[in-house]
Amino acid sequence: MSDSSKVLTNALIGLGGTITNAMNDDPEFVPCGRPAGIVMGNVAALGQNLSDGEFAARAQQVTALMEHVGDHHGAQVAGTYEGELTQVKTSLLDSLIELTDLTLPMLEAGAFAPEVNAFFYRSLAALAADDAACEAQLAQLDAIAAQVKSL
């Protein structure tokens, strides 16, 4: 992973944590489609060959959304992740990148799947937690992919 893509990855982990905090604080809170599009689009970008400037611009967009969610929903802002990704965490991140092949067309078609969106947010948040949290998200991956395919 390049340094510039790592900056975007770390911002996405922070955004996932912040949205997860908001969802945990208010179980009825379901983020609208805009955050899902930003999250999934930027997760997909991690699998692309972008310039350092493009990664930096995307990281800035993600950080701004993280701050917005914290301010607008009173959620604790998780902040940009500063740790390293273990093998299990890298596996989860790679799986999320692959899953965007299914989810981005879903979003573009106007389908709204709160459970799928929440899976992305909680998976990104899990990357800041321990390997067990990532393994729990990986265990749900096939069911989430099947749900997306059924939409």
Domain ranges in the chain?
3-150
pLDDT at 112 over 90: no
Q: Give the pair of three-digit tokens for residue 91.
A: 């596996």
Number of C-beta neighbours around residue 73 at 10 A: 17
Euclidean distance between CA atoms 117 and 122, whole angstroms: 9
DSSP state at residue 75: P
Smallest CA-to-CA distance from 16 within 119, 148, 141, 151 is with 119
pLDDT > 80? residue 90 = yes
The mean pLDDT value of the chain amounts to 95
- Amino acid 33: pLDDT: 78
Which pLDDT tens digit goes with each residue over 2-59? Answer: 898 999 999 999 999 999 999 999 988 878 778 999 999 999 999 999 999 999 999 9
Alpha-carbon distance of 79 to 44, in angstroms, equals 21
* Residue 74 contacts residue 109 (beta carbons within 8 Å): no
Predicted local confidence at residue 32, as pLDDT: 77
Query: Per-residue pLDDT tens for 113-150?
Result: 899 999 999 999 999 999 999 999 999 999 999 999 99
pTM: 0.96
- With a CB cutoff of 8 Å and minimum separation 6, the contacts of 31 are 19, 22, 23, 69, 117, 121
User: Which pLDDT score, from 0 to 100, does residue 111 have?
Assistant: 86
